[in-house]
Every structure is written in structure tokens, then in C-alpha cells.
């Protein structure tokens, strides 16, 4: 599960890491009481409260405040525990996940994140230099093994969600680069690349493919009469119908302002004509009562099948010529390109 587009990445990390902190400190409370380390036991009661507070604050949208609560608690706990029980107790390992944890918060300014990381480094170095090597109690404590496992578990969670967030960001960038932001269909550049790929496939194995150019009739009149928001609703509605009608291997793009291009692999001219006719009817029925436009919406279609001796550009021109013949003949129709001589 990833955070929403408007939710900071650190929010999800705190949401899950906080459970690790709450459980770990809750375990420490009876352990330290049993060892008669009353001060550390009471501090861990406070630690549980701080982690719960951090979770509550984080859930209310104040992720940076939650992060600082956790940061202060972890640093203070490591300093107190290692000073009391010695380096071998392993409580210094809880400092390690703090560095990626702080760096992961993209709401922090860079210098602040670096300064916080330096604080962690200084705390770790100070404990290494001045903390006692071990204590008699720590020598008998199996808890030092837990103090290795829990920090690395927290580090693993932080790294895992960083990986998820990074992968998600890359996918969003790829979608933004290849799709039209209004309709969600491929943009012209991406469709041009798909056309070249399909042409190369046809030249290798002779698989047929066809193109359909579709244009919204009287689109300027729609914008002038009802506003550009209405025009955007028309384009989005048409794009949704195209997406529903196409197969997995097909591709649809917003080719121009109100013009759409469909690529139909393994489809001859007759198959493309059938799809265009069905889309024409679907548009009439589904967009007839589009909000704010009582006159409805229609499309004109130009259809062409790729011929082996021509180029993709020539096939596109054939579909475009057919489209404009349809416009000249009265619109709201499907017109097929004349076969090449």
C-alpha cells in the first residue's frame, strides 16, 4: 500500500514503524522491572506513550511532528540504556535506522535532515567512545539479541517503503511522459513509437493492422456554446468509451486537439470498419445526454488498413483523407480509405 498522491511518503513509514516501536518498548517495561532497573522501566513507559502520540499525530496529518517525537525518543533511549548497561547491550543499534528515517521525510529542508543525521552520528560516536564496555546485567541479557533484530527490522521497513515510493514515482513519471493528462490515453509521441513498432512487426511476419482516426464533430461549437470545461468532459467521455471498447493489444491516443487515433494490430479493414461503426453508435448513445449539452455528441471516423508497400505515414494520410471525406459528406459516419493503387 502506497500513500496517496497528496500524502507525504514519511506518513506511511511512520504508520507502520510506530507499531514496531510501541511493541518493542512495551516488552522492555516488564523486562527492566524484573531486572530492578526501575529508571529504564519507567522511561520505557514514557517511550510507549511517545510512540503512541507519534502515531496519533501522524494520523492527523502532522508527519514531521511525529517524526521528531520518534527521533527524540530513540536518541534519548539509546543514550540512557547504553550508558546504564554498556555497549554490549546493543541499544546503540536503534540509532542506525534514524538516518534513512529522517532523510526519507521530503517535507524537511535538506540542511535540517543533514543536521539531524549528524546528531545521530555524534550520539553513536559518543557512546562508542565513552560508554562502559558492558555491565554484569547486560552480560546476562538475551535482550541484546533483540536489540540487533528490532533496529534492522525498522531499517528494513523504512527501506522497503522507500523502494515502493521510488518505484511508484518512476511509474508516475513514465505515465506522465507517455499519456495525455486529460484523457489518460497515449500521447502523440508514444503512439508514433507504437506505430513504428507495429510496422516493423508487419514487415517481419506480415501481420495485418489497421488505423482509425476519429474526430469530435463541431467541437469548436461545443466549446463556444458551453465552455472549455464542457469540451474537456466530451474528450474524457470519448476516451473512456474508446478504452472500454479496445482489446488489450490495441492502442488509443489523443492525436490532436479533438482527434483520436486507434491502432488495431491483427485487424483487417473489415474488422476496423466494424469497430468504428460500433464506436459511433456507442458515442451517440452514451454521450447523447452529456451534462450541459442537450444536442449530444457525435464522431466521424476515417479507417485505413496498412498495406505492405506503403509507409505508416501513408496509411495515416489515407485514414486522414477518409476522415475529411466523412466531414465533407455530413459528419457522424464511418468512411474507409480507398485501397492504394
Residue ranges of alpha helices (H) inside the chain are 9-34, 38-59, 63-85, 98-103, 110-130, 136-139, 143-178, 188-205, 219-226, 228-245, 269-286, 312-328
Residue 197 annotated among the catalytic residues of the structure: no
The CA distance from 310 to 52, in Å, is: 69
Nearest to 202 by CA among 116, 265, 262, 149: 265
Whole-Å CA distances, 143 to 19, 31, 146, 150, 263: 19, 9, 5, 10, 63
Nearest to 299 by CA among 323, 316, 315, 318: 323
Q: Count other C-beta atoms under 10 Å from residue 113's C-beta.
A: 17
Question: DSSP assignment, residue 339?
Answer: P
Catalytic residue among 73, 199, 258, 259: 258
Whole-Å CA distances, 299 to 39, 83, 305: 77, 77, 20
The CA distance from 246 to 277, in Å, is: 13
The CA distance from 50 to 21, in Å, is: 10
- Active site residues per annotation: 258
Amino acid at each position: 500500500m502506497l500513500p496517496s498522491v497528496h500524502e507525504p511518503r514519511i506518513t506511511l513509514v511512520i504508520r507502520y514503524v510506530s507499531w514496531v516501536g510501541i511493541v518493542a518498548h512495551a516488552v522492555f517495561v516488564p523486562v527492566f522491572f524484573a531486572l530492578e532497573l526501575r529508571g529504564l522501566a519507567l522511561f520505557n513507559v514514557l517511550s510507549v506513550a511517545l510512540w503512541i502520540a507519534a502515531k496519533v499525530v501522524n494520523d492527523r496529518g502532522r508527519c514531521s511532528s511525529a517524526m521528531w517525537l520518534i527521533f527524540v525518543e530513540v536518541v534519548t533511549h539509546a543514550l540512557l540504556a547504553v550508558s546504564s548497561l554498556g555497549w554490549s547491550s546493543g541499544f546503540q543499534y536503534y540509532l542506525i535506522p534514524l538516518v534513512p528515517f529522517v532523510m526519507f521525510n521530503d517535507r524537511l529542508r535538506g540542511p535540517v535532515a543533514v543536521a539531524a543525521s549528524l546528531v545521530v552520528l555524534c550520539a553513536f560516536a559518543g557512546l562508542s567512545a565513552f560508554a562502559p564496555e558492558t555491565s554484569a546485567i547486560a552480560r546476562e541479557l538475551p535482550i541484546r539479541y533483540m536489540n540487533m533484530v528490532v533496529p534492522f527490522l525498522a531499517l528494513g521497513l523504512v527501506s522497503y517503503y522507500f523502494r515502493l515510493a521510488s518505484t511508484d514515482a518512476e511509474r508516475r513519471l513514465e505515465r506522465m511522459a507517455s499519456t495525455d493528462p486529460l484523457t489518460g490515453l497515449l500521447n502523440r509521441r508514444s503512439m508514433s513509437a507504437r506505430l513504428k513498432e507495429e510496422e516493423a512487426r508487419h514487415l517481419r511476419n506480415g501481420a495485418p493492422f489497421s488505423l482509425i482516426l476519429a474526430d469530435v464533430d463541431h467541437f469548436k461549437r461545443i466549446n463556444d456554446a458551453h465552455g472549455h470545461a464542457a469540451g474537456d468532459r466530451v474528450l474524457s467521455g470519448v476516451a473512456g468509451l474508446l478504452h472500454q471498447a479496445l482489446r488489450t493489444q490495441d492502442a488509443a491516443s489523443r492525436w490532436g486537439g479533438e482527434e483520436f487515433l486507434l491502432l488495431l494490430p491483427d485487424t483487417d479493414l473489415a474488422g476496423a470498419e466494424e469497430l468504428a461503426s460500433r464506436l459511433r453508435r456507442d458515442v451517440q448513445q452514451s454521450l447523447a445526454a452529456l451534462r450541459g449539452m442537450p444536442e449530444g455528441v457525435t464522431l466521424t471516423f476515417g479507417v485505413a488498413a496498412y498495406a505492405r508497400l506503403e509507409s505508416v505515414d501513408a496509411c495515416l494520410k489515407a485514414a486522414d483523407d477518409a476522415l475529411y471525406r466523412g466531414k465533407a459528406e455530413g459528419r457522424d459516419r464511418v468512411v474507409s480509405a480507398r485501397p492504394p493503387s
